[in-house]
Every structure is written in structure tokens, then in C-alpha cells.
């Protein structure tokens, strides 16, 4: 049965900035997001964490909105939401407001991003906040184990560094560093503005264009360091810590969002560890009782990706849990997924995608994110068609390619040695 995609329109302005709009006349809200194609993989080792730190600083004051209080009150005062996120390849700032307050959203976002104060006193205060955020993350083993997994997946590479940087790098960053980073990366050619809600395409362009102040004197956007392999041997990165539960992430490199197999890996992931009817949940939790939380996930980047499996388990059962997970990986490589399971995975993926489209926030980021990262947009109908075309043979082929790689494992828990884990993944 054909699906109905919200219609989008795309315009490239004379400055190189792109505007993606999706007119949803019946929605009570408008979401506006400003996306810059920059993130932690663009940073040098000395700059580690600057993308994230700078994201914080945009909320600390602008030319017309003064300080953090004025910025927050402008959006929250109408019941709206204002937030941001920094990732490895993209930084996004967004506001969701009632439909009658669309102009306010671009007014606040535009002033924050193109006329930031970057006040030195505020910078020093926010430095302490960022450091506390890093410490909070490191004190949460179920979160921090993912950073360890990235370290072992991309050793000595920007992709292996935490998006927030390190305490040493954050302490060393200066206002001049941030101004230079703005001029190098926050360029209009690196920018996509995306709007979803009861706004026409012409209205969207009229709202956005006056706020886009050029930066960088026409310089070309910098490039990033290409991805590298993680070696030919299985590896375990263990952080010994007294915890009640062992936390582990096991995985391998996977197709990128530019790869022809990008939907094959998504369906493989659904079969393996998405939801309570997935293989990992049924085997590791329901049958063996080894974990409360066990799931798999896929993260894709321009030239690489990763398939990871997380489990939290009783420390004495951790090595056994790893063995059970490895058994499911081998099974995917050796046996084709049956027709019923493949159909279930496709319906799961398509259903989740279509339910997301109920929110103006998801619609805006779906279309804008593709344009910012890939330079082209695939609508919902095309994606559904691509998902329906994936075969069981393709899933087995990709599984064989993935799991012929050396497995990488990160573990946090009360352990003295990596040996029991290496034995399971060898």
C-alpha cells in the first residue's frame, strides 16, 4: 500500500545556504532547525570538544536577546522548546513553537547563531558546566561504555574521541579558538535551515534570509580525516570499576549513510536487536535471563558506520552474555532470515518511521538532516520502497561481511582481566 509523504521544497539561496520547507497546514506547531555540517570529527586533538562547547555558548547571550535568561524566556514564554545537539558530523539548533510564533523561532535562533556575544565571563562559567557534563557522563557506566567502544573502534582517530572532548582540551579552549572555529566552519555553504509546519515555502525563505550573515570571507569548508580500520585482531577495552552491573558494548564497523547497503544494515539491526521481539531480546533476556537491557543499534557517518550491541548484566554472567551475543551474530551470517521474520522487521522499521512523521520536529530534521549530510533528500515513499526491496540473501551477505571483521568489545565492571572476554570474541 503506498505511503503518503509530507511534501518538501528545497531552495539554495545566493549565499549558498539551503532552505528545506515542509508545509503542514493542519499542524498546531512549527519546528525550525538550523543545521551546520560540522561536529567532533572535524576537530584537531587540541580542539577536542570545541563544537560542543560552542553549542553551549550560543545559548549564553546574543546581540538583541542579551543573556541566557532572555533567550530561554523568549521561547519558553510562548510554551515553546529550544534545544541543540552536537554529533560527530552535524550540529543542530532547533525551536518548536506554536504556529502563530514561527517568526519568533527564527528571530531567536538567527540572533543566537549569527550575533552571539561569546562573553569571556560567561565562557569561563560555562566551561565549568561543560566539565560537569563530562564528569556526569563518565559516572554513568551504561552511557560511558559507548565512548569506550568508540575509542576501540577508531583508535587514535577523531571518530574515537568523545564529542565533548576531554577535561584537558576543554580547559584549554579560548574565546579566540571559538571565533576562529566559527569563521572556518559556521559558513553559509555549510548551513541548512529546515522548517516544518503551517508555513509556505515562500514564507520560509522570507523569514530565514534576512538573518543569514556571511562568515569566513567565502572560504571553502574544511574536510575531515577519513575513517580507518580498527585492526585485524579482536580487542577488549576494559575499565575496571566497582559496579553492581557489568556494562558492555560489542560491535564492528558497518555501512555508511552513503553506502548501497545502508537499508540492509538497518533491517539486519531490526532482526538482531531492535525491540522486544528481536533475536537478542528473546535469546539473551527471555531465554537465558542474562540481561535486563540488551539491544543493538546502528550509527552511520559519511564514510563509515558502526553496529553495536549493548548489554547490562550481572558481572559473573558477563562473559557468558558476550558468548550468547556472538552466537546470534554467527547465526545471522550462516542462516537466511525467514520470510516471516523479514516481513516483521520491515513493518517494524516502516511503522516507526511513519509514526515519527506525526511531529513537526521529526519532519524538519528528517528532510534537513539528509540535505545537510548527504546533499540530497530521499522522501518517505522512496525509503519505504528501498526497505521493501531488501532480501534475506542481502542480510546474510552483509552479516557475513560484518562479522568476518575482528570484534571489538568495551567493558565496564569489577573485572581484573580481559581474558574471559577475549576468549568469547576470538
Q: Give the span between the Cα atoms of 128 and 53, in whole angstroms.
A: 11
Q: Which residues touch 381 (CB under 8 Å, ≥6 apart)?
A: 2, 3, 4, 5
Does residue 300 surpass a pLDDT of 80?
Answer: yes
CA atoms within 13 A on the CB side of 99: 13
Residue 285 CB coordination number (10 Å): 21
Q: Are 338 and 392 in contact (CB under 8 A)?
A: yes
CB atoms within 10 A of CB 286: 12
Q: Strand 18-23 relative to strand 191-197: parallel, antiparallel, unpaired?
A: parallel
- At 178-228, the pLDDT tens digits run 999 999 999 999 999 999 999 999 999 999 999 999 988 777 888 999 998
Query: Is residue 1 over pLDDT 60?
Result: no
Q: Which of 82-96, 219-233, 290-304 has the lowest mean pLDDT?
A: 219-233
E strands of 24-70, at which residues? 29-36, 61-62, 66-67
Beta strands in 254-332 (DSSP E): 293-300, 305-313
Asked if 273 and 284 count as a contact pair (C-beta separation under 8 A), the reply is: no
Beta bridge partners of 253: 306
- How far is residue 211's CA from residue 205's CA, in Å, rounded to a whole number? 11
User: Average pLDDT in the 84-108 region?
Assistant: 97
Q: Give the count of beta carbons closer than 10 Å to the beta carbon of residue 352.
A: 12
Three-point CA angle 322, 323, 325, nearest 5°? 65
Backbone angles phi, psi at 411, to 5 degrees: -140, 135
Inform me whether the pLDDT recorded for 38 exceeds 90.
yes
Element (H, E) at 180: helix 175-185
Dihedral-angle region of residue 323 (phi above 0 means left; psi in -120 to 50 means alpha; beta otherwise): alpha
Average pLDDT score over residue span 163-178: 98
Q: Is the pLDDT of residue 25 over 60?
A: yes
Assess contact for 86 and 51: CB atoms under 8 A.
Answer: yes
pTM of the predicted model over 0.75: yes
What's the CA gap between 124 and 191, in Å, rounded? 28
pLDDT per residue as tens digits for the range 377-409 = 999 999 999 999 999 999 999 999 999 999 999
DSSP SS3 for 167: helix
CA–CA separation, 39 vs 369, rounded Å? 13
Report the 10 Å Cβ neighbour count for 256: 17
Architecture per CATH, domain 235-425, reads as 2-Layer Sandwich (3.30)
Neighbours of 120 (CB within 10 A): 10
For the annotated catalytic residues, the residue numbers are 55
172, 166 contact by CB (below 8 A): no
| Residue 6: per-residue pLDDT | 63
What integer pLDDT is reported at residue 2 of this predicted model? 42
Give the separation between CA 282 and CA 366, rounded to whole angstroms: 31
Which band of pLDDT confidence, cut at 50, 70 and 90, is reported for residue 5? low
Q: What is the pLDDT of residue 3?
A: 46
- The dihedral of CA 29, 30, 34, 39: what is its sign? positive
Model pLDDT, residue 77? 98
Average pLDDT score, the chain: 96
Cα of 88 vs its chain's centroid, Å: 7
Quote the CA–CA distance of 157 and 150 in Å, as a whole number.
10
Task: Tally the residues of the chain.
Answer: 426
Q: Is the dihedral of CA 388, 389, 392, 397 positive or negative?
A: negative
**Which grid cell sits at 398?**
552483509
Classify residue 46 by its DSSP letter.
T
Which set of grid coordinates corresponds to residue 165?
Answer: 572532548
Residue 186 has what DSSP assignment?
-
Mean pLDDT for the stretch of residues 255-260: 98
Checking DSSP bridges between strand 246-253 and strand 408-413, what pairing results, if any? Answer: antiparallel
To the nearest 10 degrees (0 to 180), the angle between helices 120-138 and 50-58 is 120
pLDDT in tens, 316-371: 999 999 999 999 999 999 999 999 999 999 999 999 999 999 999 999 999 999 99
According to CATH, the superfamily of the domain at 8-218 is Metalloenzyme, LuxS/M16 peptidase-like (3.30.830.10)
pLDDT for 57 equals: 98
Q: Give me the residue spans of the domains in the chain.
A: 8-218, 235-425
173-to-56, 88, 279 alpha-carbon distances in Å: 13, 19, 45
Give the list of residues 6+ apart from residue 262 with CB closer than 8 angstroms, or none.
255, 256, 300, 305
Amino acid at each position: 500500500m503506498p505511503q503518503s509523504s509530507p511534501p518538501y521544497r528545497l531552495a539554495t539561496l545566493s549565499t549558498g545556504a539551503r532552505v528545506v520547507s515542509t508545509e503542514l497546514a493542519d499542524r498546531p506547531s512549527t519546528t525550525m532547525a538550523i543545521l551546520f555540517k560540522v561536529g567532533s570529527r572535524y576537530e584537531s586533538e587540541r580542539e577536542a570538544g570545541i563544537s560542543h562547547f560552542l553549542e553551549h555558548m550560543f545559548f549564553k547571550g546574543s546581540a538583541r536577546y542579551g543573556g541566557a535568561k532572555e533567550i530561554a524566556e523568549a521561547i519558553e514564554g510562548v510554551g515553546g522548546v529550544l534545544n541543540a545537539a552536537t554529533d560527530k558530523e552535524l550540529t543542530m539548533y532547533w525551536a518548536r513553537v506554536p504556529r502563530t510564533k514561527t517568526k519568533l523561532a527564527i528571530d531567536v535562533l538567527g540572533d543566537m547563531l549569527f550575533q552571539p556575544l561569546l562573553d569571556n565571563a560567561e565562557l569561563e562559567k560555562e566551561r565549568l558546566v561543560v566539565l560537569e557534563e563530562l564528569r556526569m557522563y563518565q559516572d554513568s557506566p551504561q552511557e560511558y561504555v559507548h565512548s569506550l567502544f568508540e575509542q576501540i573502534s577508531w583508535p587514535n582517530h577523531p571518530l574515537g574521541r568523545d564529542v565533548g572532548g576531554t577535561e584537558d582540551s576543554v580547559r584549554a579552549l579560548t574565546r579566540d579558538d571559538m571565533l576562529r572555529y566559527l569563521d572556518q566552519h559556521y559558513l553559509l555553504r555549510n548551513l541548512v535551515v529546515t522548517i516544518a509546519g503551517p508555513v509556505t515555502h515562500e514564507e520560509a525563505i522570507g523569514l530565514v534570509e534576512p538573518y543569514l550573515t556571511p562568515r569566513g570571507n567565502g572560504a571553502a569548508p574544511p574536510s575531515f580525516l577519513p575513517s580507518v580500520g580498527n585492526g585485524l585482531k579482536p580487542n577488549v577495552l576494559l575499565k575496571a570499576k566497582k559496579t553492581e552491573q557489568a556494562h558492555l558494548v560489542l560491535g564492528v564497523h558497518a555501512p555508511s549513510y552513503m553506502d548501497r547497503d545502508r537499508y540492509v544494515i538497518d533491517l539486519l539491526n531490526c532482526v538482531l536487536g531492535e525491540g522486544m521481539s528481536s533475536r537478542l531480546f528473546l535469546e539473551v533476556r527471555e531465554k537465558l535471563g542474562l540481561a535486563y537491557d540488551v539491544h543493538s543499534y546502528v550509527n552511520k557517518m559519511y564514510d563509515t558506520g558502526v553496529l553495536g550491541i549493548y548489554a547490562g548484566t550481572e558481572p559473573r554472567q558477563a562473559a557468558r552474555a558476550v558468548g550468547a551475543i556472538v552466537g546470534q551474530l554467527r547465526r545471522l551470517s550462516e542462516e537466511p532470515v525467514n520470510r516471516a521474520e523479514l516481513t516483521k522487521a520491515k513493518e517494524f522499521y516502516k511503522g516507526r518511521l511513519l509514526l515519527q512523521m506525526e511531529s513537526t520536529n521529526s519532519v524538519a530534521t528528517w528532510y534537513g538532516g539528509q540535505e545537510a549530510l548527504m546533499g540530497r533528500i530521499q522522501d518517505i515513499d522512496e525509503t519505504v520502497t528501498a526497505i521493501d526491496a531488501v532480501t534475506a540473501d542481502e542480510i546474510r551477505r552483509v552479516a557475513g561481511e560484518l562479522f568476518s571483521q575482528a570484534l571489538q568489545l568495551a567493558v565496564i565492571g569489577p573485572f581484573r582481566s580481559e581474558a574471559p572476554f577475549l576468549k568469547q570474541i576470538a
